[in-house]
């Protein structure tokens, strides 16, 4: 794809913007194969390609400039706003919300935060798009100065958003390089944004995490579900479960599933989904994955891990090695830490891997690996 912002050097976030997409995808496969080259048993399935533009379901926009002329985008090296409201990797329905955001900045006289001067109120607007067309809008403020104006204007704001949208206000009082603060007030009756990936209802709360590419997230969950169903385990743990994507997709009759996640927001969202699906034997718990495994007192037939970039802990790897777990599925956003973790999991044989292109126009990607316990 072509990007005028990239060509004009206004934004260089998409580092592979000038590389043809087919070449991008092939280079990611080659990078992953090289990093995992120590595992001779590993067979790579064809990669899962993405749309190369309009794929981002989330837009984390810095608000700068003035009330009369706000910028919606990023900051330059000097802390001044760069407007990126026509960014081509952001989904078109999200870009359509930017004029509404600008209108309400004007109408409510919201004061954008000036980073160099450390003055102002409105720091960010974070938008998330569901596959249903609904959006979540999160206003990030420095103080509560504009809160009443945003709360009281909610009916007018919702009139310009798709049905079933969610609106909240987050507070970030500190001057620091962070996207959001701890305090969040949801303004709408609806507190979660509902997705319907592969027919599975999933819910996102304002401070929860969801994959930024819905198309690839759906493919990732389908791949994990296929591998789990092929193994047909009676019990599954989904560690680092987030809003429950893997756990909900792998639920089946006569199968016990546990999802373990530190974020209480994500766990509540996952419980909402399980209740909507009437899943009586799918359970979610807010706890550290390693702590849960070490203290559970039993081991399932299969474990899915989807850790952050740093990978799983050495303790969890050691527990898996010595456990009775027969099948492991590892979903990783960092093939370097994945390679280290597969070395740790030396009682398992990595069999299949598939690169999932969650992040086109960049060098980042997701990879999912199927492992089986070695014969005693």
| Rounded Cα–Cα distance for residues 221 and 206 (Å) | 22
Contact criterion met (CB below 8 Å) for 270 and 213: no
| Rounded Cα–Cα distance for residues 93 and 198 (Å) | 21
Question: Dihedral of CA 121/182/259/344: which sign?
Answer: positive
| Rounded Cα–Cα distance for residues 221 and 248 (Å) | 9
In the DSSP assignment, the letter for residue 47 is P
Rg (CA), the chain: 22
Residue 21, SS3? helix
In the DSSP assignment, the letter for residue 106 is H
Angle between helices 335-344 and 314-322 (to 10 degrees): 40
| Rounded Cα–Cα distance for residues 262 and 208 (Å) | 11
Question: Dihedral of CA 195/95/11/3: which sign?
Answer: positive
Q: How far is CA 376 from CA 234, 316, 345, 372, 373, in A?
A: 21, 21, 15, 12, 9
Active site residue 333: yes
Q: Which residues of 141-161 are buried (b: 16+ CB within 10 A; e: fewer)?
A: bbeeebbeebeeeeeebbeeb
| Rounded Cα–Cα distance for residues 172 and 152 (Å) | 21
CA atoms within 13 A on the CB side of 32: 31
Q: 154: Cβ–Cβ under 8 A, 6 or more apart, which residues?
A: 167, 187, 188
Catalytic-labelled residue, pool 3, 11, 250, 333: 333
Residues with a catalytic annotation lie at: 333
């Amino acid at each position: 794809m072509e990007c005028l912002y990239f060509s004009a050097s206004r934004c260089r976030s998409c580092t592979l913007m000038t590389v043809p997409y087919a070449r991008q995808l092939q280079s990611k496969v080659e990078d992953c194969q090289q990093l995992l080259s120590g595992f001779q048993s590993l067979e790579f399935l064809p990669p899962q390609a993405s749309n190369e533009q309009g794929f981002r379901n989330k837009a984390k926009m810095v608000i700068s400039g003035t009330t009369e002329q706000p910028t919606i985008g990023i900051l330059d090296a000097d802390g001044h706003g760069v407007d990126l409201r026509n960014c081509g990797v952001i989904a078109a329905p999200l870009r359509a919300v930017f004029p509404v955001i600008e209108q309400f900045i004007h109408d409510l006289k919201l004061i954008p935060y000036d980073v160099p001067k450390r003055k102002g109120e409105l720091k960010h607007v974070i938008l998330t798009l569901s596959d249903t067309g609904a959006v979540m809008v999160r206003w990030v403020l420095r103080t509560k100065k504009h809160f009443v104006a945003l709360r009281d204007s909610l009916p007018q704001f919702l009139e310009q958003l798709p049905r079933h949208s969610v609106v909240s206000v987050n507070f970030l009082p500190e001057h620091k390089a962070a996207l959001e603060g701890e305090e969040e007030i949801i303004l709408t009756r609806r507190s979660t944004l509902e997705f319907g990936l592969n027919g599975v209802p999933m819910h996102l709360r304002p401070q929860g995490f969801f994959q930024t590419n819905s198309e690839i997230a759906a493919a990732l969950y389908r791949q994990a579900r296929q591998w789990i169903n092929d193994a047909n385990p009676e019990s599954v743990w989904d560690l680092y479960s987030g809003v429950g994507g893997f756990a909900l997709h792998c639920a089946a009759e006569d199968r016990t599933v546990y999802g373990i996640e530190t974020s209480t927001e994500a766990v509540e969202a996952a419980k909402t989904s399980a209740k909507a699906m009437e899943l009586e034997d799918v359970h979610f718990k807010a706890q550290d994955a390693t702590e849960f495994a070490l203290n559970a007192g039993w081991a399932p037939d299969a474990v899915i891990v989807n850790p952050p970039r740093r990978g799983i802990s050495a303790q969890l790897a050691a527990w898996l090695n010595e456990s009775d777990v027969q099948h492991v599925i590892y979903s990783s956003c960092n093939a370097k830490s994945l390679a280290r973790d597969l070395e740790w999991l030396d009682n398992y044989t990595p069999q299949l891997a598939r690169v999932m292109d969650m992040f086109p126009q960049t060098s980042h990607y997701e990879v999912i690996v199927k492992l089986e316990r070695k014969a005693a």
